[in-house]
Each structure stands twice: as structure tokens, then as C-alpha cells.
């Protein structure tokens, strides 16, 4: 069984988890730390993520602006069954502001503990989960953007 089949067969779509950022933005963040509106125009960013050459559903893709200057919105998406994703910042597919970004990717299986679902530990290499160490980069231009296919390996083996 391929990793993609295992991930698809084993994990439940993280629909509630994917909706959490929207719920936070609708409800707002206290003390004015993150405003609900941003003035920068947004542009479509679509891409595809493969793990060991296979598409995997449910991988969280998050962008981190470069350079890091205070609190900035973190555009995000969750991959579909073909590994495809469309990044959004505040609203459903509203896009991403022009700029340079690092991309992090995380895959956490949902585990049934008693009668509740919980997120397990990230099962992808840690280097991809931290903005400081991820090799994934993206430049968003003032037009529709397509990310080259990102193909990452689950193995961090040293030859």
C-alpha cells in the first residue's frame, strides 16, 4: 500500500480543523493584535503537493511572509485528494498578498480517543514544519499564481 493510500484510508478529512482559522477571523482576536481587514490586494495561488511522488489529502500548507515583521496574516490551505491546494488569507479562497514566502507543511492524523477526535503528531519530516528550516519557497506576484509541484520525501535519510 502506498503512503498516499495509507494516509487517505487512515485519516479523516480535517474539515473542522481547516475551518478553525476562519472561525478565529470571524470572531476576531482580542486586544487588536490581528485586524480583521487588510488593505493589500490578494491574488490567487494554486499548487500541488506530493509526498514521495503521491498526492495526499489533508496536508496543511501555510505561508510565512519574508521578512518577518510583526504580526502578519498566514495564508493557508489543506490539500485535496489530488494534492491540490488554493491558498487563502481571511476568506474562502481570497488569495495571498504580493511578496516572498516560506511554506510549511504538516500532516497530523486524527486519532479517536474514546469518543473524541484528536490530532496526532506530525508525520512529515520536522524540517518542513518550521518556517526557519523549510526548503519550500514561494513568490506571489500581482496576478494568478501557480506553484510548481512540490514533491517532498517522508525519509530524512542521509545517504
**pLDDT tens across 117-152, in order?**
888 899 999 999 999 999 999 999 999 999 999 999
Its sign, for the CA torsion 91, 17, 132, 33, is positive
CB 138 within 8 A of CB 43: no
CB 96 within 8 A of CB 140: yes
Q: What is the pLDDT of residue 114?
A: 81
With CA atoms as reference, report the closest residue to 61 among 28, 88, 90, 94. 88
Rounded distance, CA 103 to CA 137, Å? 6
Rounded distance, CA 14 to CA 19, Å? 9
Its sign, for the CA torsion 101, 107, 113, 117, is positive
CB 125 within 8 A of CB 156: yes
Q: What is the tens place of the pLDDT at every residue in 34-83?
A: 444 556 799 999 999 999 999 999 999 999 999 876 667 789 999 999 99
Rounded-to-10 torsion of CA 19, 109, 154, 5:
-100
CB 150 within 8 A of CB 51: no
CB 58 within 8 A of CB 107: yes
Q: What is the pLDDT of residue 39?
A: 67
Rounded distance, CA 120 to CA 85, Å? 22
Amino acid at each position: 500500500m502506498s503512503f498516499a493510500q495509507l494516509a487517505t484510508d487512515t485519516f479523516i478529512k480535517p474539515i473542522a480543523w481547516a475551518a478553525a482559522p476562519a472561525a478565529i477571523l470571524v470572531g476576531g482576536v482580542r486586544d487588536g493584535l490581528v485586524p480583521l481587514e487588510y488593505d493589500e490586494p490578494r491574488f490567487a495561488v494554486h499548487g500541488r503537493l506530493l509526498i514521495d511522488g503521491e498526492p495526499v489529502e489533508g496536508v496543511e500548507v501555510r505561508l510565512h511572509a519574508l521578512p518577518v515583521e510583526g504580526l502578519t496574516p498566514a495564508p493557508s490551505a489543506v490539500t485535496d485528494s489530488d494534492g491540490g491546494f488554493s491558498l487563502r488569507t481571511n476568506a474562502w479562497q481570497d488569495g495571498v498578498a504580493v511578496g516572498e514566502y516560506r511554506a510549511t507543511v504538516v500532516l497530523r492524523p486524527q486519532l479517536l480517543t474514546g469518543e473524541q477526535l484528536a490530532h496526532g503528531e506530525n508525520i512529515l519530516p520536522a524540517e518542513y514544519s518550521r518556517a526557519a528550516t523549510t526548503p519550500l519557497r514561494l513568490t506571489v506576484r500581482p496576478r494568478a499564481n501557480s506553484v510548481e509541484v512540490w514533491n517532498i520525501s517522508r525519509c530524512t535519510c542521509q545517504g
